Homo-oligomer: A and B are copies of this chain.
Amino acid sequence: MAVTTRRADAQRNIAAILTAAAECLSRDPAASTSEIAKAAGVGRVTLYGHFPSRAELVDAVFVQAIATGEETLGQVDLTGDPREALARLTESSWQLVDQYRALLLAAQDALPPGRVQELHADPMARVERLLERGRAEGVFRSDLPTSWLVSVMHNVMHGAASELQAGRITSDQAAPYITATLLSAFAPA
């Protein structure tokens, strides 16, 4: 089972399947294994040779997406005025949420309950840390739980993705709208 002993073409195929799956699932969260295999330029049997089930494939894609996202978010400067830091974090997070919107849906109904939440632990912790620093400095409200504020941020961003898809806002309006809303919502009473 040594991963290192995989033949070169097998590794290439695994990568191709992973990226094809990311594309397909981002277009249609219910994309079938046939579609994905075809998009990867690979036989369906080959796909099953590498991923025992559709669920495990979705899981792998999702893990990869989170990892990529974490890399981006890790580069955001979270120092200085917490409000400005939040604006920067929002900008980057929004890009990711928008990009991976459909993939999230796919994960939610292919993965066991709680798994999605589990994989979101790291990005959520990052937001929480920032919010708590802001509270300590008195620029964010302390009358509501931090976890609630995180949830608000999450949902406002996903709402923006819906509004964008529905054509009620444009893609360059999204980030400023979200930021304006959150800064106001998080301000102390």
Distance in angstroms between the alpha carbons of A117 and B147 in the assembled complex: 30
In the complex, the answer to whether B185 meets A143 with C-beta atoms within 8 Å is no
Min CB distance A22 to B, Å, is: 22
User: Any chain B CB within 8 A of the CB of A152?
Assistant: yes
Distance in angstroms between the alpha carbons of A186 and B5 in the assembled complex: 58
From A30, which residue of chain B is reached at the shortest CB distance?
B109
Min CB distance A175 to B, Å, is: 13
**Which listed residue (B141, B147, B181, B184) contacts A168, Cβ 8 A?**
B147
In the complex, the answer to whether A148 meets B166 with C-beta atoms within 8 Å is no
User: Any chain B CB within 8 A of the CB of A189?
Assistant: yes
How many of these chains are in the complex?
2
Across-interface contacts of A145 in B (CB, < 8 A): 169
Across-interface contacts of A138 in B (CB, < 8 A): none
Given contacts A144-B177, A144-B181, contact A162 B156 (CB under 8 A): no
User: Any chain B CB within 8 A of the CB of A151?
Assistant: yes
Per-residue B-contact encoding for A125-167, CB less than 8 Å = 1, 0 else = 0000000000000000101110110011011101110110010
User: Any chain B CB within 8 A of the CB of A2?
Assistant: no
Distance in angstroms between the alpha carbons of A166 and B145 in the assembled complex: 15
User: Any chain B CB within 8 A of the CB of A1?
Assistant: no
Min CB distance A116 to B, Å, is: 11
In the complex, the answer to whether A181 meets B185 with C-beta atoms within 8 Å is yes
In the complex, the answer to whether A141 meets B184 with C-beta atoms within 8 Å is yes
User: Any chain B CB within 8 A of the CB of A180?
Assistant: yes
From A105, which residue of chain B is reached at the shortest CB distance?
B109
User: Any chain B CB within 8 A of the CB of A63?
Assistant: no
From A168, which residue of chain B is reached at the shortest CB distance?
B147
